[in-house]
Amino acid sequence: MAAATALHLYRTSLPTHNLFITKSRPPIRPSITCYAPYSINKCKRDYVSVMIVPTGVGASIGGFAGDALPVARALSSVVDCLISHPNVLNAAMLYWPMPNVMYVEGYALDRFAQGLWALQPVHQNKVGLVLDAGIEEYLRIRHLQVADASRASLGLPVVEYVVTDTPLQVEKWVNPTTGQSTGRIKHPNSLLQAVKNLVKRSQVDAVAVVGRFPDDEVDDLDDYRQGIGIDILAGVEAVISHLVVKEFQIPCAHAPALSPLPLTSSLSPKSAAEEIGYSFLPCVLAGLSNAPQYLVKNPEFLEKGCILASDVDSVILPIDACAGDAALAFARNKKNKPLIICVEENETVLNDTADKLGIKVVQVSNYWEAIGVIAAHKAGIDPNSLRRNRIDNINCSSIVPANGFAVSRATSIT
């Protein structure tokens, strides 16, 4: 009652002109923003995570047509920057724009993890297109229509295409020792010359390659179309992109040219993205259009705003795929070792587990848990503190000097 009386006396004591202004003005609404104030995070650097699913190894998640893309989308909403590779981010006719995700080819990702290359973010790349001379005219026209559609409908800077001077003659097979898909092209120099012409003539920043793959018998693809088995195309696709990136140090990704398969009503959703069009090229052009550039390590890295291997905070891998060059490089980085997370639910044909390699990792059941661990890690929280009975009493490490008196390490620091 006293407060109400005081408020009434305050209002009646205001000058008349102030009362008039107060009554006539519309109420002032606070501004609304979806961004947290910069001052909240100004003392923290961006949190960088790397997601790896090796190519052509039959991964339960990521071994098909973009079926690891939902994981990448979810993870990108938690971290500040996600680095991944085409096998994770490509979905044939489908793709999903994520502004904080870096599309990095596998060979380049290995060199980055080893500290030899840096990643320089870009706003836009001029993309060149290489078509295999072995592609039939109707398939070539279909792929050129994809390029034109990406320019007109998505605004992608696809600037020129070239046709190789001879058919590349792609060969593919499954390694009987490892169970991985792999292969080769009989005329690699023809591919490299085509890329060289694009780089020299049009100064392209990235290259998409479309090779004519041999058509398989439909029966041979039954397992893959049902969401099991190995992607027989993926291994040699990696061989092709590795060849270009190693030679030119620019982003590259591959899309196979294949005759359309006969329609089937029994198709796994994990494989369906490859059967809704004539080309796998759309996701490749979208990814390459803003893929980071690769810079060989030099003192100017930091001046150019590059991302280094030492900036990586966490790495996510399938449970049995820990022996890749990038995975081992991150795991053996003694100075800036990131948190390495292995996902049990994502199994491959490999058998390279962390315990066999002597690598210390956090093992989780699935990608739900993996993303939760990363959210805690980013927040500066021990992930074990979110689990039941995972925090034990603190240990006391002590040293015994020559005089026989124990001195606690914790109390000896000043």
Do 122 and 103 form a contact (C-beta atoms < 8 A)? no
Do 375 and 78 form a contact (C-beta atoms < 8 A)? yes
- Cα-Cα-Cα-Cα torsion 300, 301, 305, 307, nearest 10 degrees, comes to 180
Beta carbons within 8 Å of 162's beta carbon, 6+ residues apart = 128, 129, 130, 131, 194, 197, 198
User: What is the residue whose two structure tokens read 């990696």?
Assistant: 238
Stated as kind and residue range, the H or E segment containing 329 is helix 325-331
Q: Tens of pLDDT along the chain (414 residues)?
A: 444 444 444 444 444 444 444 444 555 544 444 434 444 556 778 999 999 999 999 999 999 999 999 999 999 999 999 999 999 999 999 999 999 999 999 999 999 999 999 999 999 999 999 999 999 999 999 999 999 999 999 999 999 999 999 999 999 999 999 999 999 999 999 999 999 999 999 999 999 999 999 987 666 678 888 888 899 999 999 999 999 999 999 999 999 999 888 888 889 999 999 888 889 999 999 999 999 999 987 766 665 789 999 999 999 999 999 999 999 999 999 888 999 999 999 999 999 999 999 999 999 999 999 999 999 999 999 998 998 887 888 888 766 565 555 544 443 343
Residue spans of the domains in the chain: they are 48-296
User: What is the residue whose two structure tokens read 């995570």?
Assistant: 49
Q: Note if the pTM is more than 0.95.
A: no
Q: Could you tell me whether strands 81-84 and 362-364 are parallel, antiparallel, or unpaired per DSSP bridges?
A: unpaired
Beta carbons within 8 Å of 78's beta carbon, 6+ residues apart = 371, 374, 375, 378
The torsion angles phi and psi of 251, rounded to 5 degrees, stand at: -60, 140
